[in-house]
Amino acid sequence: MANFNILLLPGDGIGQEVSVEVEKLINWFNTTGIAQFSVERGLAGGAAYDAHGEAISEDDMRKAQSSDAVIFGAVGGPKWDKVPYDKRPEAALLRLRKDLGLFANLRPAICYPALADASSLKRDVVEGLDILIVRELTGGVYFGEPKTIIDLGNGQKRGIDTQVYDTYEIERIAKVAFELSRARHSRVASAEKRNVMKSGVLWNEVVTKVHADHYTDVKLEHVLADNCAMQLVRWPKQYDVIVTDNLFGDVLSDVAAMLTGSLGMLPSAALGAEDPVTGRRKAMYEPVHGSAPDIAGQQLANPIAMIASFGMALRYSFGLKDWADKLDQAIANVLAQGLRTKDIASGGAHIGTAQMGDAILAALKKLA
């Protein structure tokens, strides 16, 4: 039986509650003999700042580096609005992504038939939607230097962020997108702004070349990022895989999330490069939603994005693809039964966070 080390970083707000539901699943897996997961818990975001004065401690960073997968809840909240910029809760997330080299962010957006009416778009636009956003996660304007505010001395200041991409960064994310598309419908849309940005011109050039050199069996389309946002709300089912940079990926994945009915539904995986010797990748799994401080601690959070993120860990880190499929099926079954957390209840009856977690675990046991 395979053994895996998980670092669980629940973070802040609803990150705490949704993490409890994932721990239930992990504990169950540990009783079945399917795999053995050792879980260590750490602090990230505001919770870490309160304890250590940093968004994440060096000790937890070391544990993250040596884990098989990090499972991350969510960070942030009004309590930490005034902490220094480099210690703000989000800094934990960005440091984990950067230091672990997690350049490939997979954000699938699936609209379960049972939820088609929870979306703000019409049922026929979203029903059966299944797209994958592949977001570059360690480059671009998130990390480019200079990144600063300078005082111009005339009562004016200047805020500077730098959008920067090197060829290799575009190549490796394009390859991930093309490879993943082959297991889907072999269609990739690459989104950039080549009409105004030099990094967009290079992005377009490099993606075109990677495609021509290695992936001519995949259909490639180039789309301007603003047009992509519009197309996503007009007719999202035209897409299979969308590959894009860090900032556009951030925005487009929030749009895609809402197509599925709720931000509480979207899981994500952040993967590093494959180790040439072990074949393993560093990885972190997290729901796309935030810490939702307004509803934290009230059992109102939807744990599905977090549970489905664990499902992605089963698929991409633990080699348990069949179990990942079963977990996805368990989620679909629970939704088909009519069980809803408040965010997806469309004003109807709803259950709490723990009840949803329990129902999914029960549905999974039935499929086992």
Residues marked active site are found at 142, 193, 226, 250, 254
Assess 250 for contact with Mg ion (CB under 5 A): yes
Find residue 312's DSSP bridge partners. none
Find residue 74's DSSP bridge partners. 11
Residue 61 contacts residue 28 (beta carbons within 8 Å) = no
Residue 118 binds which one of Mg ion, ligand IPM, none, with CB within 5 to 8 A depending on kind? none
Residue 8 binds which one of ligand IPM, Mg ion, none, with CB within 5 to 8 A depending on kind? none
Which is nearer to ligand IPM, 63 or 289 (by Cβ)?
Answer: 289
CA-to-CA distance for 203 and 191, rounded, in angstroms? 9
Stretch 201-220: interaction string toward ligand IPM, x if CB under 6 A: --------------------
Assess 245 for contact with ligand IPM (CB under 6 A): no
Number of residues written out for the chain: 368
Tell the smallest beta-carbon distance from residue 94 to ligand IPM (Å): 6
Residue 249 contacts residue 229 (beta carbons within 8 Å) = no
CA-to-CA distance for 242 and 250, rounded, in angstroms? 12
Residue 313 contacts residue 285 (beta carbons within 8 Å) = yes
Stretch 80-99: interaction string toward ligand IPM, x if CB under 6 A: ----------x--x------
Assess 358 for contact with ligand IPM (CB under 6 A): no
Tell the smallest beta-carbon distance from residue 238 to Mg ion (Å): 23
Closest alpha carbon to 331 in 265, 257, 269, 261: 265
Residue 131 binds which one of Mg ion, ligand IPM, none, with CB within 5 to 8 A depending on kind? none
Assess 245 for contact with Mg ion (CB under 5 A): no
Residue 232 binds which one of Mg ion, ligand IPM, none, with CB within 5 to 8 A depending on kind? none
CA-to-CA distance for 20 and 303, rounded, in angstroms? 9
Assess 250 for contact with ligand IPM (CB under 6 A): yes
Return the number of other C-beta atoms located less than 10 Å from residue 240's C-beta. Answer: 20
337: left (phi over 0), alpha (psi -120 to 50) or beta: alpha
For ligand IPM (CB under 6 A), the number of binding residues is: 4
| Contacting residues toward ligand IPM, per CB under 6 A | 90, 93, 250, 288
| Contacting residues toward Mg ion, per CB under 5 A | 250
